[in-house]
Structure 1
Amino acid sequence: MSTNNAPEGSSSSSRTAPATRAAADLVLFGGTVLTQDPGRPRAAAVAVAGNTILDVGDDAAMLALAAPDARLIDLGGRTALPGFIETHTHPYFYGVRLDASVDATTRPGESVGDLVERVREGIRCVPAGEWVVAHGYDDTLLAEGRHPTLADLDPVSADHPVVLHHVSGHICVVNSVALRAVGFADASADPPGGLIGRDEHGRPNGVLYEAAAFAVNGCVPPPDAESVQRRLRLAGEAFLAAGITCVHDAAIGGLGGTAELDHYRLAQDTGRLRTRIRGYLFHPRWSRLIPDRLTPNDFAGPDPDLLRVAGVKIVADGSIQGRTARLTGGYHPGCAEDGMLLLPPEQLTETVGALSELGWQVAVHGNGDGAIDAILDAFEGPAGVDNPLRHRIEHCQTVRDDQLDRIARHRILVSFFVKHVHYWGDRHRDLFLGPERAARISPLAGADARGIRFALHSDAPVTPPPPLEGIWCAASRRTSGGAVLGADQAVPAGRALRGYTSDAAYFSFDEDRLGRLRPGYLADIAVLAADPTAGDPMSVRDIGVDTTIVGGQVAYQRS
């Protein structure tokens, strides 16, 4: 047996497996295997043949299955579990964030001036006339507690269109050069589903919300193919380092039509991207689906295990941080603002119905409880009792108990953005929702008590992707300020783990191929330094990912 290519910390012993039943070309042994298979939840070793799981069991039995030249990985007491499945993220835009020449990420206490100075420094080497796009500013962390405006950005450059994207992805700030390029002038009306921020004189101030912000993306020149491939590679490497082996892209179409699918295929063919992709077509960019009667079969590719168009994504409202999520009770404290619906409820219902008739699974973004009402009204007809197309609600931040009852009744799926508890929990409590509603964001315990099948996600680049951080958030409910927000909505780490493995696989009809370490399943495996379901839940996010295996091949190895 060959052990020359075992990772650091793995066995290089001269163990010799019996020649009989020599079928496995990879065996992981000597640790804890969390299979996520209810029939056999724990084991000590797992054997892999080709790209699938051959068997799980004790060390002796699995080593006995090894071929003479099999690779052996000694877990040395570490933990192997199914590769994590990230059910809502944006790989290309995460890659853009990783590849950006200008970083707009806001540090606590930083001023607007500090942010603007970083932009000024970043564009020194950008040729005149080229767009400068930066991501990640957060107005609630800035010392002034406000968005930058074109008055702040105009002095930076009169030669470059400049765009700063809000961390939520639902707002951006532009300078005057970019504002003119988008076509927004003093007399411009707000676009449907969007809002143009204005100064005290009624003139655009450079802050654009929802559809108005999305319009900017259509004006930025498309990236060249090599830039797209580089960004997909960067995102893929980060996913693998976090133990993620399958990613749901929640908005395919931003690069124009089928271009993203072509880029994904090329990246996978060339080895730049090794994670599996489940794509959700962004409905505003795919309006022809319904009139052209296109079905999922029209997007079938050569290897559905690697890349598959799984459904259609619709956005019903905005973000809580941008005060554009639709709330029934208004924003805190006693604010008349209640956010916005990006689609009239009747249009949402009509669209979901038409897509359902064509066989599409529909995933609808809904942060505010007002939007969730509209989503449930739209889903209940097509979902019936069993929800055969597995329609899903994305984020579902402020879902009420009566809405959880409706979700459970119709077996609707929910992908919770649980990391909001940590990254914005303090501000949800103090600025946006008030203590009572903030304590109930991402109510995992309430969903679990009702038997709702849920997944967890990071929405990268909005928050970092590591699932272990998401599991920690679900179990600890700890905010960035150190408070516990809604302790009664926490769930054990083992329950949260299902939201990144077996239950997550169900969201894209992959429950017979992914999410478990079970004979016949694809051999996607993450090796962790410790068992996330044992010990102190507060330490889960600090557990290291040592190795990530996709289809039986080591795709990431921590040095």
Structure 2
Amino acid sequence: EHGEPTGLLLENALIAAAGKLPAPTPEEVRASLVEAIAEYNKQGFTTFQDGGLGINGDAAVFLKPYMELAREGRLDARAYLQFLPEEFDRLSALGAWGIGTDFLKIGGVKFFTDGSIQGFTGALLEDYHTRPGYRGDLIWDTDAIDAIVMKYHCMGIQVAVHTNGDAASEAVIRAFEKAVARCPRTDLRHMLVHAQLVSDDQLRRMKACGVIPTFFSRHIEVWGDRHAALYLGPERTARMDPAGSAARLGMPFALHVDTPVLPVTALGSMHAAVNRVSAGGVLFGADQRITPRQALEAYTTNASLCCGGEADRGRIEPGRFADFVLLDKGIEAVEPDHIRDVKVRMTICGGRIVYQG
């Protein structure tokens, strides 16, 4: 009545509201990108994905500074950009996807199908632990999800989809199955981002469609105790981020921390995936732990698949980019519960030292 908000803005409503805020200036975006990339370098990263240009309004506000920095040789890590569907459609008329330089590439589409489990906005197949009768909702109905996935898959464009709850993952997996049936190909490296509660059967179906999961492995460490007590209960919490199942099924998977949800880190994320111990000291899902080598592969060889970079990065081999990170200890040489204590000493991208500790 008086122009003041009276409740919460959730998911798409929040994104719509954010789009009404004053856009940052190009100078502010440039400065922010330089600062953010320096933090990635400090944590050992030489390639990163920006998974959602358009979330905060016009994607061009961010794309233009990216392009300027790349042209000036000031990107100290290689950027792979994904766009919300409506923003991507502006580029698709020009056939702009997949183009770029060694340091900046326009990738595919990223969209969201549910919220976060710890915000009670993830879409679950079973009730929330402390809210009987409530399972959350999909942001889009299944017909809309089918249409989005079908459109871009049949155009030959990679689709990355945010799914936290298993109901959201199920809706998206079905959409990919329909799309692959109509336009048979499994080489586009589609992604389920988070895929927090996918079952083994869902993972098998993802593998059949060529869909790669990327797991937010620090959920167990940071929110595991709350998931067990409030959101999912102990049994489903032990199933979260099932990297162990993916490894047993022989399918590639990546890891991430969903910055800015949590600060940038690779080693902390690997530590969480290997150990799966909560802040309260509880081991959740011993069978979903992975080895240090598998965690390392998730951030290197497997991650390179997600940006179409398997031929030029992700391994130290002749003919690939000179992108390296020097650690003070080998990840496989330390005890698993000390992986997060390993320090980055130097990061080299394109043969240049971009961080030195």
CA distance in 1, matches of 2:316, 2:143: 43
Q: Which has the higher contact order (CA 8 A, sep 6+)?
A: 1
Partner of 1:376: 173
User: 2:314 maps to which residue?
Assistant: 515
Using the size of structure 2 for normalisation, the TM-score is 0.94
Residue 491 in 1 paired to residue 290 in 2?
Answer: yes
**3-state SS of paired residue (2:168):** helix
Matches of 1:402 and 1:284, distance apart in 2:
32
Q: 1:480 to 1:271 in 2, by over 3 A?
A: farther
How big is the shift at 1:334? 5.2
Aligned match of 1:280 = 82
Cα distance between partner residues in 2 of 1:375 and 1:296? 25
The answer to whether the Cα contact below 8 Å between 2:84 and 2:111 also exists between their aligned partners in 1 is yes
Structure 2 residue 259 is matched with structure 1 residue 460: yes
Query: What is the correspondence of 1:201-220 to structure 2 with a 5 Å cutoff?
Result: 204-205=6-7, 207-220=8-21
Distance in structure 1 (CA, Å) of the matches to 2:168 and 2:95: 26
> For the residues of structure 2 that align with 1:516 and 1:482, how far apart are their CA atoms?
34
Q: Aligned with 1:399: secondary structure?
A: coil
CA contact (8 A) 2:75 2:103 kept: no
SS of the residue 2:254 aligns to: strand
Query: Do the aligned residues in 2 keep the contact of 1:295 with 1:358 (CA within 8 Å)?
Result: no
In the TM superposition, residue 490 of structure 1 has moved relative to its aligned partner by 0.2
Aligned AA for 1:246? T
Q: Which residue identity is paired with 2:244?
A: A
Matched to 1:513, the amino acid is: D
Report the alpha carbon displacement of residue 233 of structure 1 after superposing the two structures with TM.
Answer: 1.4
SS of residue in 2 equivalent to 1:415:
strand
* SS in structure 1 at match of 2:312: coil
Give the fraction of aligned pairs with identical amino acids, expressed as a percent.
36
Structure 1: gaps spanning 5 or more residues: 1-175, 180-203
Q: Is the 8 A contact 2:51 2:81 kept in 1?
A: yes
Structure 2 residue 274 is the aligned partner of structure 1 residue 472: no
Q: 1:347, 1:331 → 2: CA distance?
A: 25
| AA aligned opposite 1:219 | K
Partner Cα distance (1:264, 1:293) in 2: 21
1:300 equivalenced with 2:102 (yes/no): no
The answer to whether residue 339 in structure 2 is matched with residue 537 in structure 1 is no
Kept in 2, the 8 Å contact 1:407–1:452? The answer is no
User: How far apart are the structure 2 equivalents of 1:365 and 1:231?
Assistant: 24
Instruction: List aligned pairs for 1:25-64, cutoff 5 A.
Output: none
What is the Cα deviation at residue 255 of structure 1?
4.3
Q: Is 1:258 the counterpart of 2:66 in the alignment?
A: no
Q: CA deviation at 1:177?
A: 6.0
Bigger Cα Rg: 1
CA distance in 2, matches of 1:294, 1:390: 22
CA change 1:347–1:255 in 2 (3 A) is: closer
Q: Does 1:430 align with 2:232?
A: no
- Paired with 2:93 and 2:150, the residues of 1 have a C-alpha distance of 13
Matched, 1:240 2:14: no
One-letter identity of the residue aligned with 1:402 = D
Partner residue of 1:167?
Answer: none
TM-score normalised by structure 1 residue count: 0.61
Q: How far apart, CA to CA, are the structure 2 residues paired with 1:413 and 1:212?
A: 28
**Structure (1/2) with the larger helix percentage:** 2
Give the one of 50, 74, 95 matched to 1:249. 50
Q: How does 1:111-260 map to 2 (within 5 A)?
A: 179=5, 204-205=6-7, 207-253=8-54, 254-260=56-62
Q: Is the 8 A contact 1:277 1:308 kept in 2?
A: yes
> What is the CA–CA distance in structure 2 between the aligned matches of 1:372 and 1:250, rounded to whole Å?
18
The 5 Å alignment of 1:247-396 reads 247-253=48-54, 254-270=56-72, 272-288=74-90, 293=93, 295-297=95-97, 300-301=99-100, 303=101, 305-333=102-130, 335-383=132-180, 387-396=186-195
Deviations 1:354-410 (A, max 9, x none): 111222100111101101111011111333575121211110001122212212232
Paired residue secondary structure (1:244)? coil
Write the letter of the residue equivalent to 1:375. V
Q: How many residues align?
A: 353
Q: Deviations over 1:67-114 (max 9, x none)?
A: xxxxxxxxxxxxxxxxxxxxxxxxxxxxxxxxxxxxxxxxxxxxxxxx
Q: Does the 8 A contact of 1:444 with 1:489 survive in 2? A: yes
Post-superposition offset of 1:427: 0.8
Amino acid at match of 1:210: E
Shift of 1:243: 0.3
Structure 2: tracts of 5 or more residues without a match: none
1:311–1:363 contact (8 Å) kept in structure 2: yes
1:402 aligns with 2:201: yes
1:481 alignment partner in structure 2: 280
Cα distance 1:548–1:500, how it changes in 2: closer, same or farther (>3 A)? same
Q: Which residue matches 2:346?
A: 547
Q: Look up the SS of the partner of 1:340 in the other structure.
A: coil
| Inter-partner Cα distance in structure 2 for 1:255 and 1:329 | 34
Q: 1:493 to 1:210 in 2, by over 3 A?
A: same
Q: Distance in 1 between matches of 2:320 and 2:206?
A: 29
| 3-state secondary structure, aligned to 2:119 | coil
Deviations 1:429-473 (A, max 9, x none): 111000100000001111111111101111101012110011100
Determine the C-alpha separation between the residues in 1 that align with 2:274 and 2:343.
Answer: 18
Deviation larger for 330-339 or 538-547: 330-339
Alpha-carbon distance in 2 for matches of 1:427, 1:296: 43
* 3-state SS in 2 of match to 1:518: coil
Worse overlay, 243-252 or 220-229: 220-229
**Root-mean-square deviation over aligned CA pairs:** 1.8
Measured at CA, do residues 332 and 510 of structure 1 come closer, stay the same or move farther in structure 2, by a change above 3 Å? same
CA contact (8 A) 1:383 1:389 kept: no
Given residue 244 of structure 1, which amino acid in structure 2 is its aligned partner?
Answer: F
- Measure the CA separation in 1 of the matches of 2:196 and 2:336: 23
Q: CA deviation at 1:296?
A: 4.3
